[in-house]
Chains A and B, each alone.
Chain A
Amino acid sequence: MKITSDETAMQRTFRCLLAAMSRPGRIQVLPSTLEGGGGPREPLFLVLRSLLDQEVSFAVTGVDRTDALQAIIAGRTRCPAATIGEADYIVVAGGDSDGEILGAKRGTQQYPDTSATIVFAVRSLLAPDSRRPAAALSGPGIRGEILLGPIQGLGPRELEHLRTLNTDFPMGVDAVFIDERGRILCIPRSTKIRIQEN
């Protein structure tokens, strides 16, 4: 049997994502076998390649959105681009969608899974000033409550937007946060977000 390193890297990436999705708010670290030169976007590409292909669609938004980035994602995953309202995966480059994600599809009451997954590409999930939590999370996958530290490079209102998108459970969106060092964290729609007043 041929085991290519790419095949197992994809499985490893997915296991990491699965751990993050089933334990919201807890940081997981992606496998170090990064392709290419290991630039700041490689963790994002790794996650996208483990999930995206010609059977789904994606959109790029956010302050760091470029056509080149969209072309690279399309090229590496063969995934067709779509509008924000239609995309199955929405990449928020630079962590700030400026409210664009509010247009994401949230599924239907009968098929809530036909919703978008929002992938935030942020600078760091471990901000230097981690004393002040950004939010308190609770719900499935969390024992009691977990404090979410401030995320470096995440737009100030993005958590609020997520909360707005997820008011009609089971409809809603699931969010994945990926930083430049290969750390990931998830906030699925089942998570209650209590934003901490600063």
Chain B
Amino acid sequence: MNLREWMGRKKRDGCGNGPDYSFAFLDDVSKREIRRKILKAVAIPGYQVPFGSRELPIARGWGTGGLQITLSLVLPEDILKVIDQGCDGSVNAVNIKRFIQAVTGVRLTTDTGEATLIQTRHRVPEEPMTDAQILILQVPYPEALREVEPSERVTRRMHAEADYSRMWLYLYEDIVKFDEITIGYRYPVTVNGRYIMDPSPIPRWDIPKLHMAETLFLFGAGREKRIYAVPPHTPVVPLEFEDFRFRVENFEGKACARCGATDTYLDEIIDDATGRRLFFCSDTGFCDKRCGE
């Protein structure tokens, strides 16, 4: 019996312990709550909506927030792509994909252009997405201000008052110390001129893709129990100073050793034998497409 058959098995001889899971795993009450919260998130771009996050068969911190969003809106006719660090074949992406397919029967793809739903951890695909697609991002830390303030009560108040002075001070101190903003990934952004938002641990390379996009971006933090969103055509601006600009990662003079791309985010691989460094596209689906696979 495969996973899909097992999930659908009816209750065993009246003892009530059989799986008998429903479409998209979550029960109706859970789905409705998540739907209500998603709509609120879309209506208040960048604001973190608290939700009663459910436990899933995937561990907390492994994409349960993104997964709950996906499960509350997925349709049997959807074409799903799941990536982890840009890679379709990464173990966690495969595990999540396998689970969603088992409880919904959706078709899977690695082609960004073909997908209707994409669930991702730490990357936005290189290929521009359209208004017919939704990108669902898995989020470990929904609170961008957590770097400067550990207490949720305090950060709530800071957001309510749009009091972001400590965040700006943090950037300023960084510059004093290093003469540069040293934030790598999870670069804080201002959404629609109001909320400072954590864009999830995507590299800075992906931040410009969120700005005035065609696509709806939904963010789910399962462990921290927050949902937030960036609607299409919404300004998403990284925090920067006039004389210290936000910059994406520098891959100057480097190219993908496989497809030759010079305009993608690259993974740096250390070749065991020689200690030589090689670069490959982080977005494996995009790289495959270029290689004609």
Chain A positions within 8 Å of B, measured between CB atoms, are 1-4, 7-8, 10-12, 14-15, 17-18, 21-23, 50-56, 108-113, 115, 117, 139-143, 169-170, 174, 188-190
Task: Name the contact of B192 in the complex, choosing from A11, A115, A117, A140 (C-beta under 8 A).
Answer: A140
Give B213-255 as 1s and 0s: 1 = Cβ < 8 Å from A's Cβ atoms. Answer: 0001000000000000101111000000000000000000000
In the complex, the answer to whether A7 meets B47 with C-beta atoms within 8 Å is: no
Q: Which of B38-46, B197-205, B284-292 contacts A (4 or more CB under 8 A)?
A: B38-46
Task: Name the contact of B23 in the complex, choosing from A3, A112, A115 (C-beta under 8 A).
Answer: A3
Q: How far is the CA of A17 from the CA of B34 in the complex (A)?
A: 13
A13 (CB) vs chain B CBs: closest residue: B35
Contacting residues, chain B, for A14 (C-beta < 8 A): 35, 72-73
In the complex, the answer to whether A1 meets B233 with C-beta atoms within 8 Å is: no
- Say if the beta carbon of B161 comes within 8 Å of chain A: yes
Chain B positions within 8 Å of A, measured between CB atoms, are 4, 7-8, 21-24, 28-29, 31-33, 35-45, 47, 49-50, 72-76, 102-103, 105, 131, 134, 156-157, 159-161, 192, 194-195, 216, 229, 231-234
- Give, as a whole number of angstroms, the nearest-CB distance from B158 to chain A: 10
Interface-centre pick from B7, B40, B134 (highest chain A CB count, 10 A): B40
Contacting residues, chain A, for B105 (C-beta < 8 A): 1, 3
A-B contact list, 17 entries, CB within 8 Å:
A1-B7, A2-B23, A3-B105, A10-B31, A11-B72, A11-B74, A23-B232, A50-B35, A51-B36, A55-B32, A112-B44, A113-B37, A141-B232, A174-B43, A188-B44, A189-B43, A190-B192
A12 (CB) vs chain B CBs: closest residue: B75
- Give, as a whole number of angstroms, the nearest-CB distance from A136 to chain B: 15
Interface-centre pick from A4, A21, A109 (highest chain B CB count, 10 A): A21
